[in-house]
Amino acid sequence: MSTWISVGEAVAQSIYSHEHIYHLARTGKVKSRKSGSIWLVELESLKEYESRMKELGPQKFDPTRDNTPI
């Protein structure tokens, strides 16, 4: 079952700022939806993204790696 939370709640439960979570939502890197003027983020998707970024470490900045959207 999906847990949808506001960006404010997502900030409290992740290592990312408001701006970065908005960016992830707008670019489709995490599952999200907009309800009126409020962005909602699927918590599990955000946690999976956070985990993938931790696994990649410095490689996430490597311009020579495959640029497939994460």
Q: Provide the pLDDT for residue 59.
A: 72
Where does residue 41 rank: exposed (0-12), middle (13-18), buried (19+ CB within 10 A)?
Answer: buried
pLDDT, tens digit (0-9, with 9 covering 90-100), for 15-24:
999 999 999 9
pLDDT at 44 over 70: yes
Residue 32 structure tokens: 């999200």
pLDDT at 63 over 70: no
pLDDT at 2 over 90: no
Q: What is the distance, to the nearest Å, from the Cα of residue 15 to the centroid of all Cα atoms in its chain?
A: 10
Specify the DSSP class assigned to residue 61: G
Instruction: Show me where the domains of the chain are located.
Output: 4-57
Q: Provide the pLDDT for residue 22.
A: 94
Q: Provide the pLDDT for residue 16.
A: 94
